[in-house]
Amino acid sequence: MKIEMAYFSEGVSMKRKRLLVCNVQTVAIVLCLVPFIKALTPEGLALLDFKENLHDPVGVLQSWNLSDISPCSWRGIICNNVTSRVETLNLPRASLNGTISSQLGTLSELRRLGLHFNKFTGPIPASLGNLTFLKALYLHNNSLTGSLPDTLGLLPKLQVLDVSNNKLEGEVPESYINLSKRKFFFTGNGLLCGNSLLGLPACSLSSQESSSIRNASHSSWSLWKILLVSVGGFLFFKLIIGLLLLRRWLREDEEREIDLGKGGKLVMFKGGTTVPTSREMLRAVRRIKKKDIVGEGGYGTVYKIVLKDNSTFAVKKLKQCLEAARGFENELETLGEIKHCNLVKLRGYCISPSTKLLIYDFLPNGTLDQLLHPRTDAEKQNPVDWQTRVNVALGVARALGYIHHCCEPRIVHRDVSATNVLLDENFEPRLSDFGLAKLMDYGDTHVTVTVAGTFGYVSPEYAKTGQATEKSDVFSFGVLLLEILSGRRPTDSSISEEHVNLAGWVRSLHENCEEFEIVEKSLRDTVPHRELAMVMEIACRCISLAPQERPRMDKIAQYLERLIELDSPPSDFTLSTTASIRTRSLNNIDNPRPSHDFLDISDLPGFRHDGHKFVIDMGQSS
């Protein structure tokens, strides 16, 4: 048999996750700032950036607020009366401490910039060279460092430049020669050198090299700062994402229903209309959660899984290991070869040290138990029709007949019940859980300490000895037939006090030909009584206390097939037989029918004439 498998070895299921993480907090902050950003002019924002870089011990800049529409009312700011553009920024002797923001270079209408007698540090921003209307620049008596930017010497309207008494150094650019006829002040910067026209000493070679090295060092340090900030921000972002993913994975681990543990494999059998790959199925199994439970039975819990192509499968998690690992696999590979239209197809299995899983086709219409015992008022208003009930009984009979007499080795089900009969999209029955008991050799029996079965369906000899045979399954099928006829569960609480289950009650009624009292009223009103009598006779034979008196399942299937094929029975024969007595008994429950409505069943297979009565003969025990 061709199979396809995948091995897995992860101790804790680490899934490949593709997640998009959104930083809600950052988005919220940006959204909150949108109204203010729209309210304040770009020049106001540039001045606020200048403020952010400063320490303001005496609160000179206290009036500079983000909520203002214009900066024209701020201290130290003078705007044009017509255009409301900033023309003067004058903050002398304000005890301001920090660096000069390059954003001041965006104040394109600025005429005067006075920051003298403060504690400014760092270089003079080259962006001040963008202030083409600037006439006066006062930066004296601070602690500015670095070299003079050459862009200041190119300002066309600059009349006054005072950078005296700072810590500037290096060669003054050639562009500053244009300032020789204007007011400029460079004194108090001992390391400045340059053109004699500016009154500066000539620069020595070592001075130039020193300045070049210092400038290169400063540029290199700035690059490193940018790099460190970028890398740090990236690592912080990755850390946040990692924490969020870890939180999600831990939550998923808590919700996970199936832990495959370490070491194992998943096997998918080839064949069928849809054959998912083992790896695809493995991913789906690892995603199973408690909400995916669709049923629980004697062998374990059943989950529904949906693959990416919308194909659905049922995964049964076994309660305990039925065999040692090797024997378990051999049995399942044998079961994977079994194909019958009334058996639920085993599509694959998964084994690991901690878990045993079986993978089946998923059937959408639930179980026979759900069909016969509706839970809502709407469902109770539409009882199951007779044709559907008989078709289900025939399908189950065929399935049992197949595993009893056509499989080698033969298979005893041990848990035939309404919950183990599943219905496909056309309400065709499929028997599930077959073969989960130990496969038997031809002629051998199952013997177990623990009785596997559903209470009410288990045969007396199996419950007493733990020995299961095909006759045990026949007994369970008989109970299932009674359930189909009566609409009652095998342990219905309304059953007579003298009897604890449906089978015992029917046997007591059968002795007095009163078993038709259990037939559901909707059937008595609509179904020919002769058909009910025939099915009731089969059920009574199946629940016989003597196993050898129970018929074979293949014979039962043949009889039910003939019953369904029956068209127009002859009307010239009235039963004076056991079957006719029971048919009259059924008639007496409702309105009596005339004798010509009774059926001559002597031409059906398995019926024989025995003196004064006809007897159903379904074959000897095997």
Of 507, 495, 491, 506, nearest to 546 by C-alpha is 507
pLDDT for 499: 64
Is the pLDDT reported for residue 286 higher than 70?
yes
Q: Are 49 and 100 in contact (CB under 8 A)?
A: no
Mean pLDDT in residue range 354-368: 89
**Ranges 90-94, 194-198, 266-270, 533-537: which has the least confidence:** 194-198
Q: How confident is the model at residue 452 (pLDDT cuts 50, 70, 90)?
A: low
Structure tokens belonging to residue 384: 């199951």
- What is the C-alpha to C-alpha distance for residues 167 and 123, in angstroms, rounded to an integer? 10
Query: What's the mean pLDDT when you consider all of the chain?
Result: 78
- What is the C-alpha to C-alpha distance for residues 511 and 532, in angstroms, rounded to an integer? 17
Is the pLDDT reported for residue 468 higher than 80?
yes
What confidence tens digit (pLDDT) does each residue in 426-439 have?
Answer: 999 999 988 876 53
Q: How confident is the model at residue 409 (pLDDT cuts 50, 70, 90)?
A: confident
- Whose structure tokens read 């023309």? 87
The amino acid occupying position 386 is W
Q: How confident is the model at residue 15 (pLDDT cuts 50, 70, 90)?
A: very low
- What is the C-alpha to C-alpha distance for residues 66 and 70, in angstroms, rounded to an integer? 9
Q: How confident is the model at residue 22 (pLDDT cuts 50, 70, 90)?
A: very low
**Ranges 46-60, 148-162, 220-234, 404-418: which has the least confidence:** 220-234
Q: Where are the domains of the chain?
A: 3-16+258-361, 40-203, 368-616
**3-class SS at 164?**
coil
Q: What's the CATH code, domain 3-16+258-361?
A: 3.30.200.20
pLDDT for 576: 32
Q: What's the CATH code, domain 40-203?
A: 3.80.10.10
What confidence tens digit (pLDDT) does each residue in 325-334 have?
Answer: 457 778 888 8
- What is the C-alpha to C-alpha distance for residues 597 and 572, in angstroms, rounded to an integer? 9
Burial (CB count <10 Å: 0-12, 13-18, 19+), residue 604:
middle
Q: How confident is the model at residue 81 (pLDDT cuts 50, 70, 90)?
A: very high
pLDDT for 439: 39
What confidence tens digit (pLDDT) does each residue in 471-513 have?
Answer: 999 999 999 999 999 998 888 766 666 666 888 888 888 777 7
Is the pLDDT reported for residue 136 higher than 60?
yes
Of 527, 532, 504, nearest to 516 by C-alpha is 532
Is the pLDDT reported for residue 195 higher than 90?
no
Tally of residues, the chain: 622
What confidence tens digit (pLDDT) does each residue in 558-579 have?
Answer: 999 988 876 433 333 233 334 4
The answer to whether 309 is a known catalytic residue is no
Active-site residue, from 162, 361, 415, 473: 415
Angle between helix axes 502-510 and 529-542 (nearest 10 degrees) is 110
Q: Are 263 and 9 in contact (CB under 8 A)?
A: yes
- What is the C-alpha to C-alpha distance for residues 136 and 304, in angstroms, rounded to an integer? 80
38 is in an annotated binding site: no
- What is the C-alpha to C-alpha distance for residues 235 and 260, in angstroms, rounded to an integer? 34
CATH topology of domain 368-616: Transferase(Phosphotransferase); domain 1 (1.10.510)
pLDDT for 1: 57
Tell which wins on pLDDT, 301 or 343.
Answer: 343
Strand bridging mode 264-269 / 183-185: unpaired
Question: Which residues, other chains included, contact 577 with Cβ-Cβ below 8 Å and sequence gap of 6+?
Answer: 612, 613, 614
pLDDT for 82: 92
Of 124, 160, 117, 125, nearest to 142 by C-alpha is 117
pLDDT for 177: 79
Tell which wins on pLDDT, 129 or 226.
Answer: 129
What confidence tens digit (pLDDT) does each residue in 205-214 have?
Answer: 555 555 555 5
pLDDT for 605: 44
Tell which wins on pLDDT, 599 or 110.
Answer: 110
- What is the C-alpha to C-alpha distance for residues 31 and 208, in angstroms, rounded to an integer? 51
Is the pLDDT reported for residue 140 higher than 50?
yes
Strand bridging mode 167-171 / 191-193: parallel
